[in-house]
Structure 1
Amino acid sequence: MSHIVCFDIGGTFIKYGVFDPKGHLLYKSKMATPTSHEIPDVLNNKVKSLQHDIHLSAIGISSCGLVDREKGMILFSNNIQGYSGMKLGEILFSLTKLPVSVENDVKSGCLGEMWKGAVKGMRNAIFLTLGTGIGSSIVMEGRIVNGSSGFAGELGHTVVVAGGKPCSCGRKGCLERYASTSAFVQDYKEEALRKGVAVENVSGEMIMELVKQGDPVALLVYERFIHYISMGLTNVIHLLNPEKIIIGGGITEGEGPFIQDINRQLRNEVMEVYGNEDTVIASSLGNDAGLYGACYLALNRMNMKESV
């Protein structure tokens, strides 16, 4: 039986997994992300290692950065230095002689959720990831919206605070400066410092635990966090009227009121004509969504899977 190996390339880790032709994830692991020029060789070495035990027929790649899917090229990445401009698909094909599919990680995650996860069967939905920034993908009439240059769906760079905090994109007041997990962490550090407490090593998950414990600083910051997320999502709902908004990222995993609190705030913000059902749900594939999407694209490339 032929298998597909998929890689999800991030700034810190490369996750990888082996799938069968029906899209069942058989094995997964991860490794540290090397320097940009080492990435093709590291992927090739992993492929060669796997080929000792299984037959591989294709490679699927989900990658951070702006991606030209047709060319398999990384157009721009601020997560991995020197990664911009890499013709990853072409290089990896020359090394492995296997067909290679390359797509942006958020769009891959959305495809994975459409194929095997929370977006399955939906015609109109938004897929959102909260992390260092905000990644997003729009599904309209059953298809991902790419726009004229393939860059559609950058909800994280819509402005929610005029003249607000500087963003990495060069503008000020972008949604991801207020509603990403990294913004949540930074806001907590600044608020704690104002209270006379110096905080260094903290994560979004750790702050969420403090919220559960009733920590006053964490609760204050959390309330602002929910406010800004809901502000951005209210704009999206009024603009696109999705069936659901699916949110992924480490902060959404595990038990807690996060998703419920967003929905509660949205009921106060969204016009009544849009209904009062909960619009936001958590990703069902979690951190594996990008791998599933990469597998879907690899299978599609080999004409082994119908379009979602």
Structure 2
Amino acid sequence: MSHIVCFDIGGTFIKYGVFNPKSHLLVKSKMATPTSHEIPDVLNKKVKSLQHDFHISAIGISSCGLVDREKGMILFSNNIQGYSGMKLGEILFSLTQIPVSVENDVKSACLGEMWKGAVKDKRNAVFLTLGTGIGSSIVMDGRIVNGSSGLAGELGHTVVVAGGKSCSCGRKGCLERYASTSAFVQDYKEEALQNGMTGEDVPGETIMELVMRADPIALAVYQRFIHYISMGLTNVIHLLNPEKIIIGGGITEGEGPFIQDINIQLRNEVMDVYGNEDTVIASSLGNDAGLYGACYLALNRMNMKESV
């Protein structure tokens, strides 16, 4: 039986898994992300190791950075130094002689959710991940929107505060400087300092626990966070009219009112004609979404799967 090995390459870890042709995830694990020039060799060694137990007929890769899907090339990455410009698909194929598919991690996660997760059978949706920045992908009429050069969907770099905080993209006031998990953490740190606390870095999940305990500093920061997320999503709803907006990232995985509070805020912001049904839902595949998307693309490449 043929199997598909999939990798989800991030700045800190590379997650990997093996799927059978019926898209069942058989095994999964992760390893530390090496330096950029070592990535092809590390992936090749992992494939060779897995070949002792599985017949690998395709490789799917979900990767951080801007990706040219057709060329299997990393156009730009600020997460892994020296990664920009790597022809990852071509290099890995030369090492393994196995067909390789490469896609951006957020688009892969969106494909995974469309295929097996929260947006299955939805024709119009937007997928976001909240983390160091904001990753996003748009689905219209059942297809990922890539734009003229594959760069469509950068919601995180739409401006919500004119002349606001500096962003890594070189502009000021971008949504991800106010509505990403890292912005949430930074805002809490600054608020804590202003209130005589130490201002140490605290994970977003810990801040959410403080919100649940009605900590006044955490609540003030959280309310601003919800406001900016809702501001960005209101624009998305008015522009694209999606059936659902799916949010992924560690901050969505714990118990709490996060998704509900966004929907409540949206009901106050979105025009009535768009309806009052909850638009925002949490990712259902979690950290595995990128692996499923990579598997979907690999199966498509082998003509074993219809389009989403």
Q: Same fold (TM over 0.5)?
A: yes
Q: Secondary structure at the match of 1:246?
A: strand
Counterparts of 1:185-196 in structure 2, within 5 Å, are 185-196=185-196
Does 1:75 pair with 2:75? yes
Aligned length: 308
The residue identity in structure 2 corresponding to 1:56 is I
The alpha-carbon deviation at position 254 of structure 1 amounts to 2.1
For 2:28 and 2:51, how far apart are their aligned partners in 1? 15
What corresponds to 1:275 in structure 2? 275
Aligned to 1:99: 99
Q: Which residue in the other structure is 2:257 paired with?
A: 257
Aligned-partner Cα distance in 1 for 2:179–2:131: 9
- Note the aligned Cα RMSD (angstroms): 0.6
Q: Note if contact 2:124-2:139 (Cα within 8 Å) is conserved in structure 1.
A: yes
Provide the residue aligned with 1:238 in structure 2: 238
Tell me which residue corresponds to 1:66: 66
Query: What is the letter of the counterpart of residue 95 of structure 1?
Result: L
Amino acid paired to 1:116 = K
Displacement, 1:71?
0.4
Matches of 2:254 and 2:231, distance apart in 1: 24
1:193-208 matched pairs, under 5 angstroms? 193-208=193-208
1:120 equivalent in alignment to 2:148:
no
Unaligned runs of 5+ in 2: none
The alignment partner of 1:11 has SS state of coil
Please give the alpha-carbon distance, in whole angstroms, between the structure 2 residues aligned to 1:19 and 1:256.
33
Moved beyond 2 Å, runs of 4+: none
Q: CA deviation at 1:15?
A: 0.5
Q: Secondary structure at the match of 2:265?
A: helix
Q: Residue 171 of structure 1: SS of its match in structure 2? A: coil
Cα separation, 1, equivalents of 2:198 and 2:17? 40
Q: Distance in 2 between matches of 1:96 and 1:206?
A: 43
Look up the equivalent residue of 1:179 and give its one-letter code. A
Give structure 1 stretches of 5+ with no counterpart. Answer: none
Deviation at 1:202, TM superposition (A): 1.3
CA contact (8 A) 2:112 2:292 kept: yes
- Once residues 153 and 170 of structure 2 are traced to their aligned partners in structure 1, the CA distance between those partners, rounded to angstroms, is 18
| TM-score, L = length of structure 2 | 0.99
Distance 1:24 1:119 in 2: 18
Could you tell me the percent identity over the aligned residues?
90
User: Could you say what secondary structure the match of 2:17 adopts?
Assistant: strand
After TM superposition, the structure 1 stretch with the greater mean CA deviation from structure 2, 18-27 or 226-235, is: 18-27
Amino acid at match of 2:299: L
Q: Matches of 2:290 and 2:280 in 1, distance apart?
A: 20
Could you tell me how far apart the structure 2 residues matched to 1:84 and 1:252 are? 30
Amino acid at match of 1:143: R
